Each structure stands twice: as C-alpha cells, then as structure tokens.
Amino acid sequence: MTLAGTRVLLTGGGSGLGRHMAQRLAEDGAELAVIDRDAEACAALRAALGDSVQTFVADLSEAAQVDAVVQQVQASGFAPGVLVNNAGVIHSEPLVNLLARGADRVHSREQWRRVMAIDLDSVFYLTGRIVDGWLATRTKGVVVSVSSIAARGNAGQSAYAAAKAGVEALTRSWAKELGPMGLRFVALAPGFIDTASTRAALSPAALQRLQQAVPLRRLGTPEAVYLALRQAIENDYMTGTVLEIDGGLVL
C-alpha cells in the first residue's frame, strides 16, 4: 500500500504524538480524517492543515459515541483504507500505596476502568466497526494501534500496562482471524519519546537517568514513531507484529 492518496482515519490526532502523525501524514500525501474528543484541538488542527484534514469530535471510550462518529465519517463520504488507533491516556498508580491508609491504599477501581476504557475499549469498539465496513466492501485495510513498552509490565502502571498488553493481544488475534480476508494489523510500542508531556511529567534528573538506561543514550523523537507508522502502512507483508521504537530499552 502506498501512503500517498490513501485515506487514513487517525484517533487522538489533536495533540502530542497524534498531532505529529497528522502533520506528517498530510505532508506525505495521505487523505486524512481525525477523531479527537477535544473540539478545540480539532479546530486548531483544521486551521493548521486546511483542506487536507477532516475532523470529528467523539469520546471513543463510549460505545454509543463510537457508533455515532462512525456514521458521521461514513456520511461525510470518507472511506478509510487505514485506521490508526492512537488515542489514549497514561496513568501511573501503584497497586498498593504503602504510605496511604484505608481504601486509598489500593489502586482506584475508577481509574482502572477509566484507563481500560480509553486505552483498550476504544480500540475494540472502533476497530470492530471499521473492519465490518471493510469486509462488506472487500477492502484490504490496515489497522495500526499504538501500544507502549509498558505492555511488557511496568512497575506502578498496572492499568496502563494491562491496557497496552491488551492492545497487542488484539493485534495478534485479529491478524490471525482476519488475515485470510486480506486485512493487516500492526502495533507500535514506543519507549520514552521526547515530547512536551514527557518533559512536563519528569524532572531533568529523571530524564537524565532514563537516557542513561537507553542503549542509544537518548530519548526517541515523534518522527521515529511516525517512520514506524509509515512502515506498518506501506509494508504489505507485515502483520501481527509489534514494532518497538525504544532505542533498545527492552533488550
């Protein structure tokens, strides 16, 4: 599949890595539609990319909103050949907080459900609707879902790690199930990427320690993740795999 001229539906494209993906997909000639729950971010993206992007506002953790936004995308005449499941949230919380007392000692059930809904349920809901459309039209589409190195297990991130491990399991399951129909499924697992949110969340000392733990001795760039995304889209013999973009951190 050649990216130029291909219709790509990208979730969470209003900010962070998703915003970089949207910019680069448009530059490389893809026809782009973005779903994001932030209406202001969608407006800013349209202002930046102009006619090369359509935007739709929805909270993909809600099944009813997924169904509604898919209908909106279809009504607009946009028929994607690629789905990029990028929308997500990072949450850090220990299973048991030894410094707290009472019910607050144990990981919040509300936060567990929130993270699973945003990071895993959304992938399940949206991919099912898009794939159903592809099967009806015999479209040989590609689904690329953003995971994380946390899928291997990360101390203090029970919900996030479990959700991303689920994304990778879905990727492999769907590749086996739907490969005979010509559909491909790939996951991307970034490590520590140099973004504004990363630098806001970590102190300079913590960032320095992270860089020393990476064999390449530096953080990744959003462009490194985008190049892996493009490879996943264009390599027609790639499916059921997880591309790790982590500078060798998980070796």
Q: CB atoms < 10 A from the CB of 245, how many?
A: 19
Residue of 215, 227, 218 lying closest to 188 (CA atoms): 227
Give Cβ neighbours of residue 93 (< 8 Å, ≥ 6 apart).
107, 108, 111, 156, 157, 158, 159
- Residue 229 φ/ψ, nearest 5 degrees: -60, -45
Contact 119, 164 (CB under 8 A): yes
Our answer to whether residue 226 is catalytic in this structure is no
Residue of 70, 87, 30, 20 lying closest to 53 (CA atoms): 30
SS3 assignment, position 40: helix
Catalytic residues: 160
